[in-house]
Chain A
Amino acid sequence: MAGYIIRRLLWLPVTLLAVSFLTFSIARFGPGDPVTVAAGQIRDQEVLAQIRAERGLDGSIFEQYGRWVNRAVRGDFGESFQQRGYTVREIIFPKMWVSAQLGLVALFIVFGLGIPLGLLAAWLHGTWLDPFIISVLLFLRALPVIVVIPPLIWLFAVRTDILPVGGWDGVFDIWWIGGVIAVPIPDPHLYIPLVALTLPGFAGVARLVRVTALEVYTEDYVRTARAKGIPESRVATRHVLPNSLLPIVTVVGFALVGIVEGAFFTETLLGIPGIGRLTFEAVGSRDYDVILATTVIVAFLFVVMNLVVEIVYSWIDPRVRLGGSAVV
Chain B
Amino acid sequence: MSVAAGPYQAEVTAVEQYERQAARNPWLLLWDRLRKKRLAMLSLAIVIVIYGAGITAPLIAPYSYTEQNLERGLEGPSADHWFGTDRLGRDMFSRVLYSARTTLIVTAAVVLSGTLVLGNFLGLLAGYRGGWVDSLIMRIGDVFASLPGLPMLILLNATLLPRVLQLVGWFEDHTPVSGLSSSGTASYFTVFGALALFSWVGTARLIRAQVLQLRERDFILAAQATGGSTIHIIWRHLLPNVSFLIILEISAVLGAVAGSEILLTWFGVGVQPPNPSFGAMLFEGSGARTFQAHPHLLLVPAAVVTSLMFAFALLGDALNDAVRGR
Please report A residues at the B interface, Cβ cutoff 8 Å.
15, 18-19, 22-23, 26-27, 29-32, 135, 138-139, 141-144, 146-147, 149-151, 153-154, 157-159, 165, 257, 260-261, 264-265, 268-269, 279-280, 283-284, 286, 288, 291-292, 294-295, 298-299, 302-303, 306, 325, 327-328
Contact = CB atoms under 8 A, between A and B. Distances in A.
Interface stretch (B91-99, B143-151, B183-191): B143-151
Interface string B282-316: 11011111111000001000100110011011100
Nearest to A137: B313
Interface in B24-68: 39
A144 B147 contact: no
B88 interface: no
Nearest to B131: A328
B236 interface: no
A171 B317 CA distance: 37
Among A138, A149, A288, max chain B CB count under 10 A is at: A138
B149 A257 contact: yes
Contacts of B302: 144, 147
A286 B288 contact: no
Interface stretch (B9-17, B77-85, B156-164): B156-164
Given A29-B160, A146-B266, A154-B288, A299 B146 contact: yes
Contact of A279 (B151, B160, B209, B313): B151
A147 B134 CA distance: 41
A15 B309 contact: no
Nearest to B157: A283
Contacts, number: 147
Contacts of A135: 39
A146 B151 contact: no
16 contacts: A29-B160, A30-B162, A138-B313, A142-B310, A150-B288, A150-B290, A153-B291, A260-B150, A261-B149, A261-B263, A265-B266, A283-B267, A284-B268, A295-B148, A298-B148, A325-B209
A144 B156 contact: no
Given A32-B162, A154-B292, A283-B268, A295 B310 contact: no
A286 B155 CA distance: 10
Interface in B256-297: 259, 262-263, 266-269, 279, 282-283, 285-292
Nearest to B279: A146
A153 B286 CA distance: 10
A302 B147 contact: yes
Contact of B155 (A138, A149, A292): A292
Contact of A144 (B148, B159, B262): B262
Among B166, B216, B305, max chain A CB count under 10 A is at: B305
B150 A264 contact: yes
B143 A15 contact: yes
Interface residues of B, number: 53
Contact of A27 (B159, B166, B314): B159
A288 B159 contact: yes
Contact of A23 (B152, B213, B306): B152
A22 B143 contact: yes
B220 interface: no
A295 B155 contact: yes
Contact of B212 (A32, A280, A327): A327
B146 A265 contact: no
Q: Which 9 residue pairs of A and B lie closest in terms of their CB atoms, listed nearest first?
A: A30-B159, A142-B309, A142-B310, A31-B162, A153-B288, A147-B302, A261-B150, A150-B291, A303-B146
B298 A150 contact: yes
Contacts of A288: 159
Contact of A265 (B39, B160, B162, B263): B263
B142 interface: yes
Contact of B306 (A27, A144, A298): A144
B148 A257 contact: yes
Contact of B151 (A32, A144, A295): A295
B154 A291 contact: yes
Nearest to B156: A26
B227 to A, nearest CB: 25
A150 B142 contact: no
Given A299-B152, A302-B147, 10 more contacts: A15-B142, A32-B162, A144-B309, A147-B282, A154-B288, A265-B263, A288-B159, A291-B158, A298-B148, A299-B146
B154 A279 contact: yes
A149 B313 CA distance: 21
B278 to A, nearest CB: 9
Nearest to B308: A142
A138 B268 contact: no
A254 B207 CA distance: 21
A19 B146 contact: yes
A284 B269 CA distance: 9
A56 to B, nearest CB: 18
A31 B166 contact: yes
A269 B290 CA distance: 13
B267 A328 contact: no
A299 B148 contact: yes
A147 B306 contact: yes
A292 B158 CA distance: 11
Contact of B259 (A31, A144, A286, A325): A144
A250 B150 CA distance: 20
Nearest to B299: A151
A150 B151 contact: no
Contacts of A141: 313
Given A139-B310, A147-B305, A26 B159 contact: yes
Given A143-B306, A144-B305, A283 B143 contact: no
